[in-house]
Amino acid sequence: MYISRAVGFAAGALRTQNVASIVSRPLGIQAAVKARTYATEATPAGQIRSVIGAVVDVQFEQDNLPAILNALEVKDHAGGRLVLEVAQHLGENTVRTIAMDGTEGLVRGQKVVDTGAPITIPVGKEVLGRIINVIGEPIDERGPINAKTHRGIHAEAPEFVDQSPTPEILETGIKVVDLLAPYARGGKIGLFGGAGVGKTVLIQELINNIAKAHGGYSIFCGVGERTREGNDLYHEMMETGVIKLEGDSKCALVFGQMNEPPGARARVALTGLTIAEYFRDEEGQDVLLFIDNIFRFTQAGSEVSALLGRIPSAVGYQPTLSTDMGGMQERITTTKNGSITSVQAVYVPADDLTDPAPATTFAHLDATTIQRFLSQPFAVAQVFTGYEGRLVKLQDTIRSFQEILDGKHDSLPETAFYMQGSISDVIKRSEELAKEMGGQ
């Protein structure tokens, strides 16, 4: 009778008439708590039902479905540790997941367990000088990372009240950047260009210069780029002293190369960002986050979206393009504890700046007001654009530019700056927009 009551208590079926008899026996409490602990620690397990490329469907028992974005692990996988991320609930106790590595060798009926948390990676000073993949495993053949702290790669962006932008210039040591297009500390900088124009070379030079002069920590995310470039970067960093095998390194590398499945390429930027967030929030550091290439992040998201059967939007991109980009970019910001300054290489497909991928990235980068103001309607293109051509005198251009930099027109909507002449035209356009909105 006593054993059945203890087990009933462990299962959560606590009846009033059983409380007194159980509590009155010290040994009974220990047995019940122990049984309760074992019941809590039971890990939900499922079985693979289908494998279609990087998409794996897993069926669980009733009421044991893992949450969306939870990480699952395939047991007894010949290729090593294989992590699946839950993307959809299909019904009939089945979830659709995206694999973070190759699915070769998987079979139906193979056991899968729910970790109960999102993909969790090591963070802290232990990852400096190391190369890790999307799930936080070291891939530099230098042994395990014995980190004291781990974090999930999915997190909310800092609240607006916690953000604290500081108008301070980040000195890069590159003349053309510091003189003509200075970078703001805690801002987002985009390096736009087609294939082979030198985006990665410029990022590598920035890492080298800033790691030496800045003295802070840098995180490099290789998102869908060439493995050879990552290998070259690693050895160059060791030669220049940015990475020291004996310790005291200033940079961590996170790689998800172009040969990786789309799930890994879509999440590796979040892995690097999570490491940067730790140094900002817990260590109070000013961190530099380099992402090469942010277009591959969008491209991988498009592949994942197609694999999940979502209806594509313009040019075949995922319908959640703006949401995916915003969810990551909003986490890159300056708070009261520290800052993250991000430099992102942006591949422009076919040199088309109106492509949805680079166009969506534009909105999250600094100096968008200047970018719009530098547009100008041409008289010869009026038949195509519908805008009357404007001739702007040099004095008006300099005056308008200076006023924008001084912040005199921060109250005007950015839309009013597009395809205008001098700042007077911008003010007039903003008044027209205000009347249109008021009329509605």
3 pLDDT tier (thresholds 50, 70, 90): very low
- pLDDT, residue 25, reads 38
pTM given for the model? 0.76
Can you tell me the mean pLDDT for 346-352? 85
Of 5, 185, 225, 265, the catalytic one is 225
**Between 369 and 153, where is the model more confident?**
153
Q: Taking 80 as the threshold, does the pLDDT of residue 59 lie above it?
A: yes
- pLDDT, residue 203, reads 80
Q: Half-sphere exposure of residue 369, counting CA atoms within 13 Å on the CB side?
A: 17
Q: Taking 70 as the threshold, does the pLDDT of residue 4 lie above it?
A: no
Nearest partner of 344 among 200, 237, 225, judged by Cα: 200
**Stretch among 21-25, 46-50, 245-249, 291-295 having the lowest mean pLDDT:** 21-25
Q: Contact, 154 vs 270, CB < 8 A?
A: yes
Of 185, 199, 280, 296, the catalytic one is 199
Strand boundaries in 159-206, DSSP class E: 169-170, 183-184, 188-193
Mean pLDDT of the chain, nearest integer: 83
Nearest partner of 333 among 355, 365, 306, judged by Cα: 365
376: tokens are: 């100008």
Q: 214-255: per-residue pLDDT in tens? A: 677 899 999 988 888 888 888 888 888 888 888 888 889 999
Q: What burial class does residue 218 get, using C-beta atoms within 10 Å of its C-beta: 0-12 exposed, 13-18 middle, 19+ buried?
A: buried
Of 75, 108, 212, 226, the catalytic one is 226
Three-class SS of 9-34: HHCCCCCHHHHHHHHCCHHHHHHHHH
User: Does residue 168 have an active-site annotation?
Assistant: no
User: Does residue 226 have an active-site annotation?
Assistant: yes
Domains of the chain (ranges, CATH numbers): 2-41 (no CATH), 45-118 (2.40.10.170), 121-365 (3.40.50.300), 373-439 (1.10.1140.10)
**Between 97 and 171, where is the model more confident?**
97
Q: Taking 60 as the threshold, does the pLDDT of residue 19 lie above it?
A: no
> Biggest alpha carbon distance in the chain?
97
Nearest partner of 108 among 72, 69, 74, judged by Cα: 74
User: Does residue 225 have an active-site annotation?
Assistant: yes
**Stretch among 7-16, 215-224, 350-359, 399-408 having the lowest mean pLDDT:** 7-16
**Between 439 and 294, where is the model more confident?**
294
DSSP state of 415: G
Q: Contact, 186 vs 341, CB < 8 A?
A: yes
